[in-house]
Amino acid sequence: MKSIFYVITLFACINGFSQENIERTKRIAAEEKQRFATRNNLATASLASNNFEVYYYRCNWNINPAVRQISGSVTSYFRLTKAAAGIVYDFTNQLTIDSIIFRKKKVAFTRSGTTLAINFPSTVISGKKDSVTIHYRGTPPNSQSFGGFVQTTHNGVPVLWTLSEPYDALNWWPCRNGLDDKADSIDIYITHPSQYKAAANGILKEAVVNGNSTTSHYAHRYPVATYLVAFAVTNYIVYTSSVVINGQSMPVIQHIYPEDFLSFSGGTAALLSMLQLYSTHFGSYPFVNERYGQTQFSWGGGMEHQTNSFINNSGRNLVAHELGHQWFGDRVTCGSWRDIWLNEGFATWLADMFYTEKIDTNNYKAYVQYDLDYIVSSPGGSVWVDDTTSVNRIFDGRLTYNKGAFLLRMLRWTLGDSAFFKGVNNYLTDPKLSYGFARTADLQRNLQKASGKNLAYFFNQWFYGEGYPSITVKWKDTTNNRLYFQVSQTTSVPSSVNFFKVRLPVQVTNGSQVKTFVLNCTANNQGFFVTAPGFTVQNVKIDPDNYLISANNTVIKLINVAAGIAALKITVNPNPVNSVAVVNLENMQGKTQLRLYNNAGNMLWSKLVENKTATQIQIPFSSFINGTYRLLVTEESGAQQSVTIVK
């Protein structure tokens, strides 16, 4: 899912675009938080009994987009996993049940909160396949999340649509509503006034006109999670095109508001290229035997309904994000909200990084940089959702979306393209996961198998761990045609991760001459000798292409001090400090710049000191919050030192 009010475009002003990109992600996360606003226990959202599995739904719904009501029936075909005298569905008690039919007879039922308990006339044995039909009607309760069941208008015309992620399906149809059961297939029959058209999952098999009403029959023959089932009804224009996916032709069907037909249909070519791009790298579109669709709806963003993404505009970033979910979120669905990054991190990476790298190349580096800036705008937080009762924590745009996406970028850099893409494809086709549910350990397992590398350290520090490193590289030329690098790091949350093991790219340049070395950093203050590049090194840059999450990095050139001249000595007292810290500089040889940074990398104070042999500088701390600060001292020669100050 992706919630936006408008699509990001690159601005000429870099700072302006950076802020827009951050605000875009904040909007996505803020909207998605709303759907959990009244949930106190997210881990047990489904209260359906665990003694049965649904393998098929047949849904018959009567819908008039001018009226916020639903009537009809849902027949669920199930298999008992243990002997039982009844089963329990997720279903609101605010809709009226007219009858429940089991083996052609009405049966008793009881309701409590959001559960519907159906009583069998006698105990049914384990393994038995059976079915039950629930006839119901009424006005679905108002959702506390994104909508669930929404009736509104566009251009003065009624429209009704559903959006169930994560828990709202039970507010408009009886089902199993957890992340543990997918129906193998589903048929949807929507009876609606004939002046309108209906859109739903799968393929439109037929539209039967009966006087002033039409019954649209959609069939979907792939496993589908409950929250990914949806429909919409209004005066759509249906625009059909096709795309060849790995040699197989597939229809692409868009249901578009008439007033927006030109803008939506104009984006079709980009959509078709995305389908081919993703299919080339991640296997054929997961539902290639049916179709891919887009349905316009009146909500601020998009939702990855299976085979049919609901979107409110044709912006490329939104389209790329929702399409990516068909692989990551629909084919393989996160098995817990703790692992929601398996849906949202992948979709964000595909739209912000992978698609731009391959197609929208002019914007690729900008998207990478701006996503990184947002991640390091605060020091803490893990991608793993450590508190599923917190709305803000689950849908944290900085962590679930952007940092989740950057984990994939770092995994690709760590493993190399061949092993990374092989591991991701193995994850998608894993018999235990494909068209089912997955946890983060399942992705790790497949990446390890493809690469032959143990990635426990990576997921411990980047997925479960908090924060990021600030890296310092000291370098100098040595004899025997070699360069020397010494790499150290501090971390933004040392209580969580006190050292990040990384493959660190270090770039050396002299005008147009460039060479990059990759240093395998496994310990702090590690030294590396490398063969000199064949030119005099003038500049050194840490991670020039932003393959890693890091911030406030520093490069220091080691300078041999002339005989008789002592090196600059820095002391800070008191440390820890309460109100004022006194910095003592001894043996200054020129102008010296002092800068004080907080843990987020923001500069709070600076001072330029003139040439003196001994200088005392006062730094006021009374207005600063308690925490860790970094004093960076830069000499006129370019040499740098940093001192940690604690308040």
- Report residue 633's pLDDT band, with 50, 70 and 90 as the boundaries: confident
Classify residue 483: in a domain, yes or no: yes
Mean pLDDT across 583-602: 84
Question: Domain check: are 94 and 201 in the same one?
Answer: yes
Mean pLDDT across 398-413: 96
- The tokens for 37 are 């606003």
Among 187-196, 199-208, 407-416, 471-480, the least confident range: 471-480
282-306 pLDDT, tens digit each? 999 999 999 999 999 998 889 999 9
Mean pLDDT across 546-550: 98
Among 72-81, 112-121, 553-562, the least confident range: 553-562
Question: Domain check: are 494 and 591 in the same one?
Answer: no
Question: Domain check: are 476 and 457 in the same one?
Answer: no
Read off the CATH number of the domain in which 377 is found. 1.10.390.10
Is the pLDDT score of 112 beyond 60?
yes
- According to DSSP, the residues that pair with 294 across neighbouring strands are 254, 309
> How far apart are the C-alpha atoms of 486 and 524, rounded to whole Å?
9
- Report residue 28's pLDDT band, with 50, 70 and 90 as the boundaries: very low
Read off the CATH number of the domain in which 508 is found. 2.60.40.1910
Question: Domain check: are 401 and 454 in the same one?
Answer: yes
Distance of CA 609 to the CA centre of its chain: 46
Percentage of the chain beyond pLDDT 90 is 78
Mean pLDDT across 8-31: 42
CA nearest to 405, candidates 302, 469, 320 = 320
> Domain end: 464, 491, 515, which one?
464
> Domain end: 234, 257, 275, which one?
234
Strands 308-311 vs 292-296: parallel, antiparallel or unpaired = parallel
CA nearest to 25, candidates 340, 403, 546, 379 = 403
What rounded mean pLDDT belongs to the chain?
A: 90
253-285 pLDDT, tens digit each? 999 999 999 999 999 999 999 999 999 999 999
Strands (E), 211-331: 213-220, 224-225, 231-234, 237-245, 248-256, 292-296, 301-303, 308-311
Question: Domain check: are 77 and 167 in the same one?
Answer: yes
Classify residue 476: in a domain, yes or no: yes
Question: Domain check: are 434 and 497 in the same one?
Answer: no
Instruction: Provide the pLDDT for residue 459.
Output: 98
Is the pLDDT score of 42 beyond 50?
no
Question: Domain check: are 391 and 494 in the same one?
Answer: no
Torsion of CA 415, 417, 423, 425, to 10 degrees: 170
Instruction: Provide the pLDDT for residue 614.
Output: 64
Is residue 516 a contact partner of residue 506, using CB atoms and an 8 Å limit? Answer: yes
Classify residue 246: in a domain, yes or no: no
Distance of CA 596 to the CA centre of its chain: 34
Q: Which amino acid is at 383?
A: V
**Residue 402 — left, alpha, or beta (φ > 0 → left; ψ -120 to 50 → alpha)?**
alpha
Among 126-130, 324-328, 392-396, 568-572, the least confident range: 392-396
DSSP label of 354: I
Is the pLDDT score of 453 beyond 50?
yes
Classify residue 30: in a domain, yes or no: yes
Classify residue 443: in a domain, yes or no: yes
Question: Domain check: are 548 and 577 in the same one?
Answer: no
- Report residue 522's pLDDT band, with 50, 70 and 90 as the boundaries: very high
Domain count, the chain: 4
Question: Domain check: are 113 and 174 in the same one?
Answer: yes
Is the pLDDT score of 25 beyond 50?
no
> How far apart are the C-alpha atoms of 195 and 35, rounded to whole Å?
32
Instruction: Provide the pLDDT for residue 397.
Output: 87
Among 224-238, 342-356, 499-513, 595-609, the least confident range: 595-609
Strands 237-245 vs 203-210: parallel, antiparallel or unpaired = unpaired
Question: Domain check: are 22 and 69 in the same one?
Answer: no
Mean pLDDT across 549-555: 97
Read off the CATH number of the domain in which 601 is found. 2.60.40.10
- The tokens for 321 are 């994000």
Classify residue 276: in a domain, yes or no: no
Mean pLDDT across 451-463: 97
Instruction: Provide the pLDDT for residue 634.
Output: 82
Classify residue 630: in a domain, yes or no: yes
Instruction: Provide the pLDDT for residue 240.
Output: 98
- Report residue 22's pLDDT band, with 50, 70 and 90 as the boundaries: very low
Classify residue 31: in a domain, yes or no: yes
Question: Domain check: are 58 and 202 in the same one?
Answer: yes
Q: Sheet of 502-510: strands edge to edge? A: 513-521, 502-510, 539-542
Claim: this prediction has a pTM higher than 0.85? no
> Domain end: 401, 436, 464, which one?
464
Domain encompassing residue 489 = 469-557
Question: Domain check: are 191 and 169 in the same one?
Answer: yes
> How far apart are the C-alpha atoms of 473 and 488, rounded to whole Å?
7
Instruction: Provide the pLDDT for residue 444.
Output: 98
> How far apart are the C-alpha atoms of 498 and 488, rounded to whole Å?
11
Instruction: Provide the pLDDT for residue 12.
Output: 31
Instruction: Provide the pLDDT for residue 599.
Output: 79
Is residue 7 a contact partner of residue 316, using CB atoms and an 8 Å limit? Answer: yes
Q: How many CB atoms lie within 10 A of CB 435?
A: 19
Mean pLDDT across 547-556: 97
